[in-house]
Amino acid sequence: MRRRRVAYVCLAAQTALALVAPPLLTAPRSVSCNIVTPLRGPAATADELEYGRGTMADLSSIVTLAQAEFGKDYTDPVSKFGLLTLLTVGFWIRLCRDDHSILTCKDASNDLIGYVEVSPQPAGEVSGPFPLPKWAKGLMGPLTPYLANLLVRPDARR
């Protein structure tokens, strides 16, 4: 089971990096996960899924998915509103910036299945809720590619 999860993460990372740096890396022409599990039928093929960079049109779907995952422990309305505000502003900044990419995966009906954030970060550092500008991160040390916030809608997980 662990090998399958590693394979999915590796595939997501390879696809994400290929979308961010097309001149340096080439994405697989056709991505197909034809693994059959006892709980579900064959996985979706690349023809059934659409991968691409997130846009402002995706903001509400991204925030909804993030809030469902990160907000499980928030029970009172004030905390839920605070998290919603934090996520909305944070992802809005990420979508506006050229040094952050939010890569999305959508199904045939254009519903968001999942996303991953790719950005350069100083070695050993992680991006906070509001990402620093690239020049500020550069002051902290050499920048390396960083994959964060890999989220998949619960009903689409294996």
For 140-158, write each residue's pLDDT tens digit: 989 999 898 899 998 888 7
pLDDT value of residue 92: 95
pLDDT value of residue 43: 56
For 40-81, write each residue's pLDDT tens digit: 444 566 668 889 999 999 999 999 999 988 888 888 889 889
Q: What is the rounded distance in angstroms from the CA atom of residue 130 to the CA atom of residue 26? A: 30
> Where do the DSSP E strands lie in the chain?
50-53, 101-106, 112-122, 143-152
pLDDT value of residue 155: 85
Distances (CA, A) of 90 to 3, 48, 93: 33, 30, 5
CB 33 within 8 A of CB 14: no
Alpha helix segments (H runs only) across 31-112: 59-70, 77-96
For 115-149, write each residue's pLDDT tens digit: 999 999 998 777 778 888 888 888 998 999 989 88
120 beta partners: 145
For 15-39, write each residue's pLDDT tens digit: 444 444 433 333 333 343 433 444 4
Tokens of 80: 């839920």
